[in-house]
């Protein structure tokens, strides 16, 4: 029997991640749902922490849309930078280059610098898988195409960008789908701050707590029976929530 300790969208909130990892037992399979970077203040520290966990502890980090945008920018800076900038990319670029977060970014020149100065982090992001499937679970950043006969045919782009069609579609996979990407306060139509996971009768569980928007960072331990433990960090406090 394998248990899975799953962490939602970190978005550069290194201190919140550090607190949450105190609840990982070091034995359960550690899975990150993507969006390690952008918007938050310390994306480099988050990348280095998670990379170390992947290399030394066998953790798995799924790609999110922000990693997708990061690579799109690096691979074509002239075309990719503006979209990446609008989605909080400058904080990551400056963090990776160890500069003040308000340093003006040159989308083309800084792409060269990132490739030269942080090749290990770029390689780490490039090798991220787009989903993890087990006998009982599908872990994915944004969702899968539930209209397909075989959901495995969902494009990588959809796996990191899907929203309403996945949220509103019916899960016929026979497995619980655990995802991030869309903050739960949007799914609940609430203001940022809810500590609840978004759970549906057809076995979809949303766990992007909107940490970078003043919300929470979720860590959930999944087992054969479903959710075994649920933790979250909010306002520099680590909380265990009953399920």
In a domain, 35, yes or no: yes
Mean pLDDT of the 49-62 span = 98
**Closest by CA position to 66, among listed 42, 32, 38, 97:** 38
Question: What domain range is 26 assigned to?
Answer: 4-64+128-234
In a domain, 83, yes or no: no
Tally of residues, the chain: 243
Alpha helix locations (H) across the chain? Answer: 14-20, 43-57, 65-75, 77-86, 89-96, 109-117, 119-126, 156-161, 164-168, 184-187
In a domain, 141, yes or no: yes
Query: Can you read off the two tokens belonging to residue 194?
Result: 């809810």
Q: How far apart are CA 212 and CA 39, in angstroms?
A: 7
In a domain, 105, yes or no: no
Task: Name the phi and psi angles at 211, rounded to 5.
Answer: -55, -40
DSSP letters of 145-162?
-TTSSSGGG--HHHHHH-
CATH of the domain at 46: 3.60.21.10
Q: How far apart are CA 168 and CA 153, in angstroms?
A: 19
How far is the first Cα of the chain from the last one, in angstroms, to the nearest whole number? Answer: 21
pLDDT, tens digit, 9 for 90 and up, residues 154-164: 999 999 999 99
Which percentage of the chain shows pLDDT scores above 90?
Answer: 96
In a domain, 88, yes or no: no
In a domain, 227, yes or no: yes
pLDDT, tens digit, 9 for 90 and up, residues 76-103: 999 999 999 999 999 999 999 999 999 9
In a domain, 223, yes or no: yes
Chain centroid, CA 2 distance in Å: 21
Instruction: Give 189's pLDDT tier (boundaries 50, 70, 90).
Output: very high
In a domain, 91, yes or no: no
Q: What is the domain count for the chain? A: 1
Q: How far apart are CA 26 and CA 173, in angstroms?
A: 30
Residue 185 and residue 208 in contact, taking contact as beta carbons nearer than 8 Å: no
| Model pTM score | 0.97
Instruction: Give 243's pLDDT tier (boundaries 50, 70, 90).
Output: low
């Amino acid at each position: 029997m394998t248990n899975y300790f799953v962490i939602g969208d970190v978005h550069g909130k290194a201190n919140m991640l550090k607190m949450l990892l105190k609840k990982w037992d070091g034995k359960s399979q550690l899975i990150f749902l993507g969006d390690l970077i952008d918007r938050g203040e310390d994306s480099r520290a988050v990348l280095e922490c998670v990379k170390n966990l992947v290399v030394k502890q066998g953790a798995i980090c799924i790609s999110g849309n922000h990693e997708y945008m990061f690579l799109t920018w690096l691979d074509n800076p002239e075309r990719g930078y503006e979209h990446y900038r609008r989605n909080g990319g400058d904080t990551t670029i400056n963090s990776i280059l160890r500069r003040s977060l308000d340093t003006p970014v040159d989308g083309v020149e800084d792409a060269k610098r990132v490739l030269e100065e942080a090749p290990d982090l770029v390689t780490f992001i490039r090798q991220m898988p787009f989903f993890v499937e087990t006998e009982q679970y599908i872990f994915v950043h944004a969702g899968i195409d539930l209209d397909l006969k075989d959901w495995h045919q969902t494009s990588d782009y959809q796996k990191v960008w899907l929203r309403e069609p996945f949220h509103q579609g019916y899960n016929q996979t026979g497995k619980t789908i655990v995802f991030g990407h869309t903050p739960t306060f949007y799914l609940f139509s609430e203001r940022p701050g809810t500590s609840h996971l978004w759970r549906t009768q057809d076995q979809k569980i949303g766990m992007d707590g909107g940490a970078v928007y003043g919300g929470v960072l979720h860590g959930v331990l999944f087992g054969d029976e479903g959710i075994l433990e649920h933790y979250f960090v909010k306002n520099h406090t680590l909380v265990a929530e009953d399920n």
